[in-house]
């Protein structure tokens, strides 16, 4: 073991190594037997130096291996239980929040930019299928603090989580080349779901915006 | 430097709590190997703690193993409100007490509250299963450690003594020894390695 690794190990043992370096060393300790043995030896000697006159018992050489063997049959811990306990409500608020955020942004856009999509009309005319997602762009207005939404290509959203939900709701509210919202009874399938795009959505006056997997309808615009 | 008799120790202190937390977080992400590091770090302390409740070294190891498995299962609930080792020692004490109850035995050692587990872990006193052979080994072990310490170069001996017996941090030792903290780390590492080599035959003998 080189001097640098020795110092890193000692710093980690002291809790003085932080962030990426600490995680990197922890990873090495988990995977490098020699380093792990040094870690164990350092603690053993430290324990003996501090307790040799106290009549204490030292662990057998294979004790840690036996514990590891016992742990092997245990299920892996994937997340703190507190997080799992909150899982349902957290998931609900995440989805509800994303819908609310989209609504607020959209209402703002309607008010501030009633004709804000003129520059995108050519895009919409070309057919909607090749636009896989949406993004927020700045610079369409002379005011630096204003922005609006438009579809963009070449971006693959994550397959789950808030991104998809937000983008799906943006899709529902976005009408390429037309008004800000869909006309009643207009059905659109603007995105190719086979390319990790947004899911198809529809609108009818009776049901509002809907989609097959829509858990939290955005409501009737 | 001669024999270091009647020295004080920093036995009650624990260092590296941030690293413990990091390892706990890694376990909570499904990395069992990180728990193995925690076991290797605390195995001696937990066994010694449990050893104050039970009759034999073998029983102490069995109960300690059960405590570690319980700790692993409960780790999902650990949020870092207390230090990991305090939490672990509490589980160990409770496991030992439950073991005695299951055996129909009374807690014959000091019935320490679980909150005192940390102090209890480093308290002096005879174990229930202390034998003349065990005490002899303890004396021999202490002599070997004194010999190993005396054989160390002065700078290594000073660094490890300040660390283990006075409980100074690396920064404090660096100030006392007027050297960079990296040098202190290196000296303590090498000192412990040297002592480990001297003790290895004795520990092998104990094992056999």
What confidence tier does A128 reach under pLDDT thresholds 50, 70, 90?
A: very low
- pLDDT digit string (tens) for B122-169? 444 445 455 555 555 677 888 888 999 999 999 999 999 999 999 899
DSSP A144: T
Nearest chain A residue to B70 by CA distance is: A71
The complex's ipTM works out to: 0.84
Q: At what angle do helices A19-31 and A3-14 cross, to 10 degrees?
A: 110
Whether residue A123 is contained in a domain is answered as: no
* Residue A81 touches partner B, C-beta closer than 8 Å: yes
- In B, which residues are within 8 Å of A59 by CB distance? 43-44, 47, 61, 64
B-contacting residues of A 56-75, CB under 8 Å?
56-61, 63-64, 66-68, 70-72, 74
- Comparing A93 with A51, the larger pLDDT belongs to A51
Contact B65, A70 (CB under 8 A): yes
Whether residue A159 is contained in a domain is answered as: no
pLDDT (0 to 100) of residue A109: 60
pLDDT (0 to 100) of residue A5: 92
pLDDT (0 to 100) of residue B79: 84
pLDDT (0 to 100) of residue B16: 74
* Stretch B52-67: mean pLDDT: 92
- Comparing A153 with B130, the larger pLDDT belongs to B130
pLDDT (0 to 100) of residue A196: 43
Q: Is B188 in contact with A39 (Cβ distance < 8 A)?
A: no
Q: How far is B99 from chain A (nearest CA, A)?
A: 18
pLDDT (0 to 100) of residue B179: 95
pLDDT (0 to 100) of residue B140: 80
Instruction: Using CB atoms, pick whichever of B35, B43, B138 lies closest to residue A59.
Output: B43
Continuous segment of H or E residues that includes residue A149 = strand A147-152
Whether residue A182 is contained in a domain is answered as: no
pLDDT (0 to 100) of residue A171: 59
Number of domains into which chain A is organized:
1
Please list the residues that pair with A149 across neighbouring strands: A136
Q: What torsion do the CA atoms of B154, B160, B162, B165 make, to the nearest 10 degrees?
A: -120
Continuous segment of H or E residues that includes residue B59 = helix B57-74
Greatest mean pLDDT among A74-78, A81-85, B189-193: B189-193
pLDDT at A50 over 70: yes
Domain that holds residue A12: 1-52
Distances in whole angstroms, Cα of residue B108 to Cα of each of B50, B53, B56, B101, B113: 13, 7, 14, 11, 14
* Residue A185 touches partner B, C-beta closer than 8 Å: no
Instruction: Using CB atoms, pick whichever of B26, B47, B188 lies closest to residue A59.
Output: B47
Whether residue A176 is contained in a domain is answered as: no
The strand pair at A147-152 and A133-138 is best described as: antiparallel
Q: Which residue has the tokens 């742990």?
A: A71
Q: Is B19 in contact with A3 (Cβ distance < 8 A)?
A: no
C-alpha B157/C-alpha A212 separation (Å) is 73
CA B1 to chain centre: 26
- pLDDT digit string (tens) for A82-106? 544 444 455 556 666 776 776 776 6
Mean per-residue pLDDT of chain A = 64
- pLDDT digit string (tens) for B76-102? 888 888 899 999 999 999 999 999 988
pLDDT (0 to 100) of residue A91: 56
Whether residue A14 is contained in a domain is answered as: yes
Give the count of beta carbons closer than 10 Å to the beta carbon of residue A51. 23
- In A, which residues are within 8 Å of B57 by CB distance? 57
Whether residue A48 is contained in a domain is answered as: yes
- pLDDT digit string (tens) for A21-38? 999 999 999 999 999 999
* Stretch A32-52: mean pLDDT: 91
Instruction: Using CB atoms, pick whichever of A18, A47, A63 lies closest to residue B61.
Output: A63
C-alpha B169/C-alpha B147 separation (Å) is 25
Whether residue A34 is contained in a domain is answered as: yes
* Residue A53 touches partner B, C-beta closer than 8 Å: yes
pLDDT (0 to 100) of residue B84: 94
Q: How far is B70 from chain A (nearest CA, A)?
A: 10
- In B, which residues are within 8 Å of A67 by CB distance? 36, 39, 43, 65, 68-69
Please list the residues that pair with A138 across neighbouring strands: A147
Whether residue A30 is contained in a domain is answered as: yes
- pLDDT digit string (tens) for A154-197? 455 555 556 666 665 665 555 444 444 444 444 344 444 444 44
Q: Is B193 in contact with A41 (Cβ distance < 8 A)?
A: yes
pLDDT (0 to 100) of residue B199: 87
- For the record, the structure tokens of B122 come out as 């480093």
Contact B177, B155 (CB under 8 A): yes
């Amino acid at each position: 073991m080189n001097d640098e690794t020795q110092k890193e190990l000692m710093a980690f043992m002291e809790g003085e190594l932080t962030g990426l370096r600490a995680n990197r060393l922890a990873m090495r300790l988990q995977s490098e037997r020699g380093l792990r043995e040094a870690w164990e030896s350092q603690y053993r000697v430290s324990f003996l130096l501090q307790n040799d006159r106290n009549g204490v018992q030292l662990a057998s050489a294979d004790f840690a291996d036996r514990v590891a063997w016992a742990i092997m049959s245990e299920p892996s811990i994937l997340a703190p239980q507190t997080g799992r306990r909150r899982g349902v409500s957290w998931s609900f608020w995440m989805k509800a929040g994303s819908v609310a955020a989209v609504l607020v942004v959209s209402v703002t856009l309607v008010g501030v930019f009633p004709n804000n999509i003129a520059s995108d009309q050519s895009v919409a005319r070309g057919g909607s299928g090749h636009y896989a997602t949406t993004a927020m762009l700045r610079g369409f207005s002379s005011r630096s603090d204003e922005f609006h939404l438009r579809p963009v290509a070449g971006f693959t959203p994550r397959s789950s989580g808030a991104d998809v939900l937000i983008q799906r709701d943006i899709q529902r509210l976005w009408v390429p080349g037309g008004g800000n919202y869909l006309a009643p009874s207009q059905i659109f399938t603007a995105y190719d779901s086979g390319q990790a795009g947004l899911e198809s959505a529809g609108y009818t006056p009776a049901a509002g915006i809907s989609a097959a997997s829509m858990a939290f309808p955005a409501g009737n615009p | 430097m001669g024999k270091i008799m009647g020295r004080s120790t920093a036995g009650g202190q624990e260092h590296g709590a941030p690293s413990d937390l990091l390892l706990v977080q890694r376990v909570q992400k499904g990395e069992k190997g990180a728990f193995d590091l925690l076991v290797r770090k605390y195995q001696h302390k937990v066994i010694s703690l449990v050893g104050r409740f039970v009759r034999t070294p073998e029983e102490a190891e069995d109960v300690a193993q059960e405590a570690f498995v319980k700790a692993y299962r409960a780790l999902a609930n650990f949020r870092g409100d207390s230090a990991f080792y305090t939490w672990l020692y509490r589980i160990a004490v409770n496991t030992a007490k439950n073991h005695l109850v299951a055996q129909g035995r009374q807690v014959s050692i000091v019935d320490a509250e679980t909150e005192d587990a940390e102090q209890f872990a480093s308290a002096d006193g005879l174990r229930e299963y202390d034998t003349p052979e065990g005490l002899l080994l303890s004396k021999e072990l202490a002599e070997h450690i004194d010999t190993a310490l005396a054989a160390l170069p002065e700078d290594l001996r000073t660094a490890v003594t300040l660390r283990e017996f006075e409980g100074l941090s690396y920064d404090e030792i660096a100030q006392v020894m007027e050297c960079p903290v990296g040098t202190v780390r290196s000296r303590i590492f090498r000192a412990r390695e040297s002592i480990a080599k001297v003790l290895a035959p004795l520990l092998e003998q104990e094992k056999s």
